[in-house]
A = this chain, B = another copy of it.
Amino acid sequence: MAGIKDVAAEAGVSVATVSRVLNAHPSVSEAARARVLAAVETLGYRPNAVARSLRTDQTRTLGLVISDVLNPYFTELARSVEEAARALGYSVIIGNADERPDLQDHHVRTLLDRRIDGLLVSPTDGGTPLMLEAARGGTPIVFVDRWIPGIDVPVVRADGRAAIGDLVAHLYGLGRRRLAIIAGPAATTTGSERVEAFRAALAGHGLVLPDAYVGQGDFQAASGRRATERFLALPEPPDAVFAADNLMTLGALDALRAHGLRIGADIALAAFDDIPWFVHTDPPVTAIAQPTGELGRAAVHALAALIDGGTPPSVTLPARLVVRRSCGEGAPNPRSEQ
């Protein structure tokens, strides 16, 4: 593969000049520029990004460590992150933690070794030593969706509190009184916050959330199924189940179906995170939608600002309830979809 020296030779200039035209440095004569460009063209020269990175100490690359690629929410987040990053001239390398702290650390380490310019992460847990070290080590980091208390970096996330309040009101209005939740890991912020918001909303209606109605999940499908099975085995099973993410909803759907329950009639089901498939499930699933695209963009902009030496603020965007039919037939909601 042709190197910068070959281009210099072909154009009859020094490598310094070649470098200058490639980097749009102003002081290069038109004649030299033209010759270099021509040489680049005929040799099919492509600069070696590895060498450039070593020299400039920047890779123009962002790392994104997400909790689970199989989760459509994160996949959509990844897409918007890459798009926003590309617009800013950054590439992004995605690491999938699969909800495992060890895998998360593996990716963070690899990314750090590659000297990415900044890191976007939705932490799988309460904070591994490596995570803390990376933050202290001066690597620009911003948390997306989930964050780690005690690590002082910008956080970009959606606040589901109000939407969860709307959901509980919706369920209450439909006559549901025994509301249960399938939570994510308590070590994650989204895991604990959603339960707290749910509990608070119930209290607002004079309802309590018994321990037996808090299923412990891990944000993946199988755990949603297990938690649901456990609910159904209770002497007094819940009449409404709220799953804290879309994958656990999938598991809940499996379990409910297996028990022959009519969702929306025998039992209500709602999800955190809205995805295209929820319009087509049987029945369509009522869900809380996050402004995923905006979150991705805001996270990238915050990270870019951090890299540029700024001190971007945290961003919290509202989530909203999208009523469909899985909780029962209510009055047509203005915000609902077909």
Contact = CB atoms under 8 A, between A and B. Distances in A.
Contacts of A338: 257-258
Nearest to A114: B49
Interface string A61-99: 000000001101001101100100010000101101010
Given A276-B250, A280-B282, A79 B96 contact: yes
A105 to B, nearest CB: 13
Nearest to A57: B50
Interface stretch (A40-48, A149-157, A190-198, A302-310): A40-48
Contacts of A50: 50, 53-54, 59, 114-115
Contacts of A93: 91, 93-94
Nearest to A110: B91
A173 to B, nearest CB: 24
A221 B76 CA distance: 15
A51 interface: yes
Nearest to A47: B113
Question: How many chain copies does the complex carry?
Answer: 2
A209 interface: no
A277 B281 contact: yes
Interface string A275-286: 011011111000
A1 interface: yes
A282 B279 contact: no
A250 B254 CA distance: 20
B113 A49 contact: yes
Contact of A250 (B47, B59, B112, B277): B277
B281 A115 contact: no
A329 interface: no
Contact of A282 (B78, B96, B98, B283): B283
A262 to B, nearest CB: 12
3 closest cross-chain pairs (CB), A and B: A282-B282, A277-B277, A49-B113
Interface of A: 1, 44, 46-51, 53-54, 59, 69-70, 72, 75-76, 78-79, 82, 86, 91, 93-94, 96, 98, 106, 109-110, 112-115, 133, 137, 221, 250, 253-254, 257-258, 276-277, 279-283, 338
16 contacts: A44-B137, A48-B54, A48-B113, A50-B53, A51-B54, A54-B54, A69-B75, A69-B79, A75-B75, A79-B96, A91-B93, A250-B276, A254-B279, A257-B280, A257-B338, A277-B281
Given A50-B114, A75-B75, A281-B282, 9 more contacts: A1-B137, A46-B113, A49-B110, A49-B113, A50-B115, A70-B72, A91-B110, A277-B281, A280-B281
